[in-house]
Each structure stands twice: as structure tokens, then as C-alpha cells.
Structure 1
Amino acid sequence: MRIGILTAGGDCPGLNAVIRAAGRKLLREGHEPVGLLRGYRGLAHQDHRPLDHAALSGLLPLGGTILSTSSYDPYRHDDGPARIEAAMARGDVDAVIAIGGEHTMDITRRLHERLALPVVGVPKTIDNDIVGTDRTFGFDTAVHVAAEAIDRLHSTAQSHDRVMVVEVMGRNAGWIAVTAAIAGGADGVLVPEVETPVEEIAATIRGRHDRGKDFSIIVVSEGARLCFADGRSEKIVANEETDEYGYERLGGIGAALAAELERETGYETRVVVLGHIQRGGTPTANDRVLATQYGVAAAEAVLAGDLGKMVALQRGEITTIPLSDVVGVKGIDMRLLELAKVFF
């Protein structure tokens, strides 16, 4: 069999480890893995590269993706579905392993249901917000980067008696924010799932100052809203423009929150935006292992004919679930937020 492997959506630590694992498993079983470049665009436009042993060598610790990536959605292009059907009719590939986030899993599900595309999905996102799996690869690395940044900010915040606001990624879910806040010993956290008034955070900061703590670290997810006690609530976007597929470009909540906290408390407040630093670089050992497990499991699912599924981690075991069950966004475990609040 000739099996296409693609990476779609945002880049993520561990992508190359999945490609390596799936490709090596397919080669071991006598099949031919093929890289589809820039997500589903590679399948639609016959943009392929061979994935032989040489191409798969040295990928385990490598950040980014050797296949490049894009958010190409065949259903947002008039000729997209027809191109996918033509690719399958030509025999470009016999099946596809699609590595991506919630948006990619939705595209993969529709292609399977509407065009009978033989596919298996692999859940990828630093946001850890994909329904049906306990953990996505890339999340552990992103949290590690954010927690290390918070550790470093503690010393400078304490030296200058400042409030530091740390903006982390998390469009629809606050997994990175709340987990990094716990790991880094932050003094407050704002997430998209819960509207927290500026006045509440300001009261926490003033309380710390009253106890002799003249600095504070506040972590905020990029998708959190700027909220006030009088009921006002605002989503902060980088600008009024959207990307080519209509998605808002988030960013700026950190600066907006910092300005409000400084006005409320009178304490000097600075903002640090971690941004794409969380998505780049070498994956942690945990992400390398999880990515390897996912890659091998995806190859095994394809070879077993277990199609229209997504590989998932559930209760410590790798399994497959129907793509039709991967709907919506997995919000944070509220118990984590309550745990974090113990220390605020």
C-alpha cells in the first residue's frame, strides 16, 4: 500500500516524531509511506515527497515538520473536493494519515464521510483541546516552555517590585495557562472557559502587597476575555483582519490586562507574550514518546482497515475512536483551576 502522511494547521513539537514513527512502521511492514506537503493541499495538488529510511532519519528530536503545513481546507475551494477525488482515483495514495488539530480532524471527518477517503487522524495541538483524547502531543513541551519562562520572570519581577502578565497560547481552551500557572507558581490565571473580572485579579495583587509580597505573576490565555465587575466583557484580537479562512488573529489580551491592572492597583505592570516560542523547538521526552505511540498506532490502524478513526490516549492506553465523536473543543478540567486557586 502507498500511504500518504500529512501535517496540517499550526506547527507543533513532535510532528516529525509522528512522521518518523508512522513511516518506519509502514516500511517495516513492506508498505510505502509518502509525504503530502502542506497538509491536504499536497494531496489536492499532487505535491508529494518520498519517505524512505533516509528521509525518516534524525527526525525524533527535530522541531517543526519536514512536510511543511497549512490550513488548506478542500471545502473552502470550489475545486477542492474534486481534486481530492481525482487524487484517489489516480491512485496517488491508498490511504491518508492526517496529523492535525481540531480543525484538521473536522476536515478529515468530512472527507471520510462525504468522499469515503480512507483516513486515520492523529491529534496534534499544543492547546490540548481535542475531544476524545486525554492528551495531545506538543502540549507537554508548550507547558514546559511557559513554566520555565514564569520561573525566569519571578526573579526579575521580585527585583523590581513589578506585576508581570504572561500571555500564553490557547485560543479556545486554557490548558496551557492553568497548567503552566500551577507549574510556575503564578499568582493568578485567566482562561477562556471562565470570565474573571479585572477587579478580582487586582484584589489578589493588592492582597499580596499587603502581606509583603511586592511582585505578582499573572498568566493569561490568548483567548481569555477582558472582563469587569460591571458585566463588561471583550475579546481582544490582534487586529480586525482574519486569516485566509476567516479565523480571528488573537493576541493583545496580555497588554490590555496589564494596562487595566496598573490602573486598578497603581503598581508598575509589564507584559510578556510567549507566542510562537511555545510551538517551536525540540519536543520534550514525554512528547517524543507520545508522538511515537500515536504514529505507530496510526499506521497499524490503516493497515488493519480501522479507518475513519482518530488515535487517542484514554486512561493511559492508546486506542482509536470514530472521527464523528471528535466534535467541539475540550475545555480545561475545572479541578485544575480550583487547584491553582489554592495558591492565589
Structure 2
Amino acid sequence: MGRRFGILTSGGDCPGLNAVIRGAVLKGETVYGHTYVGFRDGWRGLVYGDILELDRTTVRGLSNQGGTILGTSRFGPYSEPDGGPENIKKVLADLDLQVVIAIGGDGTAAAANRLFNDGINIVGVPKTIDNDLDATDYTFGFNTAVEIATEAIDRLRTTGNSHKRCMVLEVMGRHAGWIALHSGIAGGAHAILIPEHPESLDQICAWVTSVKNRGRAPMVVVAEGFTLPDMKEAYSEKGLDGFNRPRLGGIAEVLAPLIESRTGIETRATVLGHIQRGGVPSAWDRVLATRMGGAVADLVADNGWGHLVALHGTQMARITFDEALGKLKQVRPEYYDEMRVIFG
């Protein structure tokens, strides 16, 4: 008889999570005879033993559904009074579960690594729409977010052209500007502003004015983590998130009046926000997420505790939690400069 594993999704949701769950369950059940349960609402379900049985019927048709059927939360596995490795070991024993599969971003991987070091059999699947994990070439959800942002640029350009306005679109990207860069290139933006490369207000306004002087409506794309040179940190006025990080958002609404005041060009800001994280995943993300689900089924079959699956080129790879943690994949200067020369 095959072994029995638990799956959880933690941190922010993104398109493709359900496809990972489906891929793992289908391959694990078909190839290895494994059975699976899902922990509800991330680490909370693991700490309190709140589970959902997962089988072929449960995961049917999941690859095209956004979000996560398991739910997610910012709850941590060491949260008092009931968290910690000893309680979790008891929960796993009571449920006859041998391994935990944790799907999440850097915070989830850090928590999983701590549990692994405390004696829990655990593996991971990396997830972030920001695509800023250095350990994997791409993360599922990123392609979908870029497609959504590109469509927003296309729509904003038509209304901007009608009114001869400058349009500023803010997209996600705390530490890395991958979504802004890719959607901005695809949408033909006249300026793309990302956290890795601060630009002065004078330079931004010069680009905007150049576009206006050609009779066009300027289109500016900005990542939420972008800073002007005189800003000590990314713009935030929404307090802290569940990991005690500043909740970013609103830099477009700061920039728009500054651009209008400096250039005299009527300027409007749009903050895309959670729209980028919702809805159905793109075909590319469905394929990547399904492959990662199958790869993590292989990983647990090989007793690969303490590892994450990753995409290296076109191949599925395995890396340790230690190798993955704290290493951001940011936009390289030469990549940004390729596009910067055609701004304005």
C-alpha cells in the first residue's frame, strides 16, 4: 500500500495553485499508489489537523481554476499556543501522514526549512507571481499576472489616447520588477519603473514630455516597490501584512500628480492590485504548475525531504531549502537597459 501525504498552500494565493495540487495527486495516485489529504487554510490546517481528503475525483477539472481549493492564510506553523514541531508531529501521527508538501513563497520555504530542521519530513513547491525566487527560472502565476497587466495597459492606452492623458499603471513587484518589465514591454509602455533601478522625477517627466510632443498619450508602468531617489523605502500607507512587512501600494497615485504638476499634462493613476492574482491561470502557468505537481510527487517518492522542486531551463530540478532561501532574482541592469534606451 502507498504512503499518505498532506498538501498545504500558504501565503498569498496565485493562479496555478490548484493545478499543482491536481498534478501531485494524479501522478502520486497513478504512478506510486500514494494517497493525499489537503490541509485547510495553510499552516493552520496542519497545526489543528483540519484536512480535506484529496483523490482523483476531488481534483477533477482543477487545472483551469484560480485560487486554491485548500484555502490559504498568513498563519505560521510555530504560532502559539498550539504550533511547534512536537504538536505537528503528533497531528501527523494521528492522521497517519508521513510527509508535508508545502506550496508557497519565501516565507513558506523558511518555515518549512525550520520544520525540516526540527525533524518534520517536508518538501516544497515555490510560488510567487513576482517571479523573484532565484532558485527557479519561472514560478507559476507570473505569466498570468503579466497577461492581465498587459491587457490593462492595452485598455488604458485607448482611453489615454482619447483624452491625450498620461496614464500611470501600478503593478505588483515588491523587490523585483519582472511583472512591470514584461507587461510594459508587451504593452509598448513609454517608461517602465522598477525597484532595482530608481529613476529621477526629472527623467520620468522628460520621457513623458517627449511622448506628448510627438502627439502621443504617455503610458507609464510602475512596480509597487519602485522608489524615487529621495525615498528611503518603498511607498506604503496601509500598515503591515501578516509577515510584518509594509503593505505596499499607491506609488502610482504619488507619481501621477507630480508628473502632472511638473509637465502640465493631465495624468491619471490606476492601481491594478489583486486583479493580477485572481482569475484563471494562463495555459503556460497551467502546464508549469502541473509539471511541478508531478515533480513533487516524484520527490516524495524518493524521500527527498528538505528539498523544493524548481524549473531550470525546461527541466524539473531539485534544490534544498537552504539553497532557495533569501536569494532574490532581480532584473539585471543590462536587461533593463535594453528597454530603457527606447523609453520616451
Q: Name the TM-score, length of structure 2 as normaliser.
A: 0.94
The 5 A counterparts of 1:1-344 are 1-28=3-30, 29-81=32-84, 82-113=86-117, 115-210=118-213, 212-225=214-227, 227-228=228-229, 231-239=230-238, 241-328=239-326, 329-344=328-343
CA RMSD, Structure 1 to Structure 2 (Å): 1.4
Aligned CA distance change for structure 1 residues 8 and 198 (closer, same or farther; 3 Å): same
Aligned length: 338
CA distance in 1, matches of 2:57, 2:95: 24
> Once the two structures are superposed, what CA deviation does each residue of 1:309-341 show, in whole Å capped at 9, x if it has no partner?
010011221110011111222212333312221
Q: Is the 8 A contact 2:161 2:217 kept in 1?
A: yes
CA distance in 2, matches of 1:221, 1:123: 22
Q: Is the 8 A contact 1:122 1:298 kept in 2?
A: yes
**Gapped regions of structure 2 (runs ≥ 5):** none
Moved more, 327-336 or 184-193: 327-336
CA distance in 1, matches of 2:165, 2:312: 42
Q: Is the 8 A contact 1:4 1:36 kept in 2?
A: yes
Counterpart AA for 1:262: E
In terms of fraction of residues, the more strand-rich structure is 1
Which SS does the other structure have where 2:151 is aligned?
helix
Deviation at 1:88, TM superposition (A): 3.1
Deviation at 1:202, TM superposition (A): 0.4
Which SS does the other structure have where 2:6 is aligned?
strand
Counterpart AA for 1:102: D
Deviation at 1:283, TM superposition (A): 0.6
CA distance in 1, matches of 2:215, 2:333: 27
Counterpart AA for 1:237: S
Deviation at 1:308, TM superposition (A): 0.5
CA distance in 1, matches of 2:200, 2:119: 48
CA distance in 2, matches of 1:203, 1:233: 23
Aligned CA distance change for structure 1 residues 162 and 135 (closer, same or farther; 3 Å): same
CA distance in 2, matches of 1:92, 1:69: 23
CA distance in 1, matches of 2:164, 2:255: 18
Aligned CA distance change for structure 1 residues 158 and 233 (closer, same or farther; 3 Å): farther
Q: Is the 8 A contact 2:224 2:234 kept in 1?
A: no
CA distance in 1, matches of 2:120, 2:105: 18
CA distance in 2, matches of 1:233, 1:42: 38
Q: Is the 8 A contact 2:16 2:281 kept in 1?
A: yes
Which SS does the other structure have where 1:250 is aligned?
coil
CA distance in 1, matches of 2:80, 2:312: 35
Q: Name the TM-score, length of structure 1 as normaliser.
A: 0.94
